[in-house]
Amino acid sequence: MHKPTAILYGLVLLAFTILPAEVVSNEARRELHGAVQTIYQEGVPHTDRMGRLMFRYQNGKSFFPIALYHSLTGRHKGHDYSFQQIASAGFNTIHPWEGQRLEAIIADARANRLQVIFHHPTNSEVKRFANDPNILAWYLEEEPTGLFPKEAIYDKLAAFNKRVAEIRSVDRIHPIFPLDRPILKGREADWKVWASIGDVSSHFHYPITGKKTASLATPKDFPASISRAVELNAQKRPLWMVLQAFTKPTERWTMPSPAQLRAMTYASLIHGATGIIFFAFDSFVTRDGAVVGMAPNPINRHRALTKRPPLEATNAQLTKSRALWSETKKINGEMKKLTPLILLPTSKRKLRVFISGKSVSEVPVRVIIKESENQIYVIAANLDETALEAEFQLAKSPKSVSVEFTYSAKPKTTAKGWSEKLEGFATRVYRVTP
């Protein structure tokens, strides 16, 4: 039976040395080289609802997965679960807990128009659901470079390829992929193999640790993890990024603040993710792994899943869990509205980004540019906890600049663009009329 700890960093201290973030001392106005991401200018690799590869956005066909890991339906451990509450929070995809077989969950997934990423399907499940329109993908291997030693890599690869061939003999539609962790020191070559062997590239990166995380860019460099996978696959494979929406006190992971989760999500979109998987839905499953995830109505104590006692959540952890769920609903709504933009080729238009103020990382503001119906859209994120004055310059002064969604901020026009104070971990979608 799957344990939720498998997807977590079992060797986090080996992978990263936790260093204090260094504040860049320069407060003067400076240009941020490397802020503007230029990937996907010839097309964005993504899929339709059944996982078929696409490069050009098509309304009604293109699909951007917004998934929840360890989703539950039915009655378990004295509690009733339904995919309805997941769908109502804006998710369009589920990764069901492995203790539920596909035939037990598919009806509820269909009823709520949810696509399914199914882990370790049996031969009978593959045969029965090979052409099923609610299956998005088959997920085979979990954290191969973290859970298995280097000397086992060839046996694991052989087993993976054998299983892929077995599934492909029955199902020629749905993508098959492994889900790995960030690169471990000494396992770089192995990580590259697993990150490029599937029809989809997918890995997790959980940067929120300890009492304080001052930046997503240092010392763990969350955005570089995404860019690395995009470039490794020559911008030709969809990338489904797994984001941290949990706390595990025994291994230093702390619950992200709503702003941090929002910044992680937008940084993922900016750096090339074409699908987002949030880890994880809080239940008896996560508590068995000493994890508190996010949920609309989390409880302090769950019945045990295994012989080990489940983690009992504090009231403070429950408050953070509910807050994260509430923010994720907002983020999901924004991603759905942004999908037609995200999946359009990236604009080749030139943009310069300047900041003033002390930053934690060298390039704290990241952006990507999309264009649609004679409008320029600049998607931006501040990866640092510090507020910064940011200025954006185009080749020519725009006619108008506005901020999408419900942000209260109002940018000030400048000679060739606009400026605005970005609070810590801020995200923005600017709509620019050239």
Q: What gap in Å lies between CA 45 and CA 194, rounded to an integer?
A: 18
Q: What is the pLDDT of residue 26?
A: 66
Computed over every residue of the chain, the mean pLDDT equals: 94
**pLDDT at res. 404:** 95
Q: How many domains does the chain have?
A: 1
Residue 151 lies in a domain: yes
The DSSP output letter for 152 is G
Name the residue with tokens 């906890």: 385
Within-domain flag for 407: no
What is the amino acid identity at position 159? A
Q: Is residue 31 part of a domain?
A: no
What tens digit of pLDDT does each residue of 92-147 get?
A: 999 999 999 999 999 999 999 999 999 999 999 999 999 999 999 999 999 999 99
Are the beta carbons of 72 and 281 closer than 8 angstroms? yes
Per-residue CA distances from 416 to 335, 353, 392, 395, 396 (Å): 29, 11, 8, 7, 5
Written as six digits, the tokens of 306 are 């295994």
Q: Do residues 372 and 341 make contact, with C-beta atoms less than 8 angstroms apart?
A: yes
Single-letter amino acid, residue 406: T
The one-letter code for the residue type at 104 is A
Is residue 291 assigned to a domain?
Answer: yes
Cα end-to-end span (Å), the chain: 56
Per residue in 9-18, pLDDT (tens digit) is: 343 333 333 3
Domain membership of residue 171 (yes or no) is yes
pLDDT of residue 27: 80
Q: pTM value?
A: 0.94
Whether 398 is covered by a domain: the verdict is: no
Cα distance between residue 381 and residue 35, in whole Å: 10
Q: Sign (positive/negative) of CA torsion 407, 69, 366, 57?
A: negative
Burial 162-183 (b: 16+ CB within 10 A, else e): ebbeebeeebeebbbbbbbbbb
Nearest CA among 113, 228, 121, 232 for reference residue 175: 121
pLDDT, tens only, 63-72: 999 999 999 9
pLDDT of residue 23: 56
Summarize pLDDT for 253-293 with one digit per residue, the tens.
Answer: 999 999 999 999 999 999 999 999 999 999 999 999 999 99
Angle at which helix 222-232 crosses helix 188-196, to 10 degrees, equals 60
DSSP β-bridge partners for residue 421: 389
Q: How far is CA 94 from CA 69, 71, 238, 266, 288, in A?
A: 6, 6, 17, 20, 20
Segment (H or E) for 76: strand 74-76
Instruction: Show the domain range for 81.
Output: 4-13+45-342
Mean pLDDT by groups of 10 residues along the chain of 434 residues = 44 37 69 98 99 98 99 97 99 98 98 99 98 98 93 94 98 98 93 98 97 92 97 99 98 97 99 99 98 98 96 98 99 98 99 98 98 98 98 96 84 94 97 96
Q: Evaluate whether residue 316 is within a structural domain.
A: yes
What is the amino acid identity at position 207?
P
Note the pLDDT of residue 202: 99
Between CA 96 and CA 99, with CA 97 as vertex, the angle to 5 degrees is 125
- The answer to whether 65 touches 275, Cβ cutoff 8 Å, is yes
3-class DSSP assignment, residue 266: helix
Token pair in block for residue 143: 């954290």
Q: What angle do CA 343, 379, 326 make, to 5 degrees?
A: 90
pLDDT of residue 219: 80
Query: Residue with structure tokens 């996010």?
Result: 294
Q: Are 283 and 293 in contact (CB under 8 A)?
A: yes
Tell me the sheet residues that pair with 372.
375
Instruction: Say which CATH number the domain at 338 has.
Output: 3.20.20.80
